[in-house]
């Protein structure tokens, strides 16, 4: 999912480095978690806009996903 104003790689790195692993894992299926851990998929590819917004908010990340884009 694309978030205007953010480079997907930068956003993914920020989420990965600062988000709680258990919180991220809870938002993914087992297959998605395995694909993410194996480097086959990024969080940006796996999570929808609402999950990204919630993850950012829960972990106090400086990412502003407009509510109007939340699915």
Q: What pLDDT shows up at residue 70?
A: 44
CA distance 32 to 3: 20
Closest by CA position to 42, among listed 2, 8, 5: 8
The predicted-structure confidence for 11-62, as pLDDT tens digits, reads as follows: 778 888 878 888 889 989 999 999 999 989 988 889 888 888 788 777 776 6
Q: Are 7 and 63 in contact (CB under 8 A)?
A: no
């Amino acid at each position: 999912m694309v978030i205007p104003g953010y480079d997907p790689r930068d956003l993914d790195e920020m989420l990965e480095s600062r988000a709680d692993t258990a919180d991220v894992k809870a938002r993914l299926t087992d297959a998605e978690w395995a694909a993410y851990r194996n480097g086959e998929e990024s969080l940006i590819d796996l999570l929808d806009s609402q999950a990204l917004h919630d993850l950012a908010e829960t972990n106090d990340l400086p990412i502003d996903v407009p509510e109007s884009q939340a699915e």
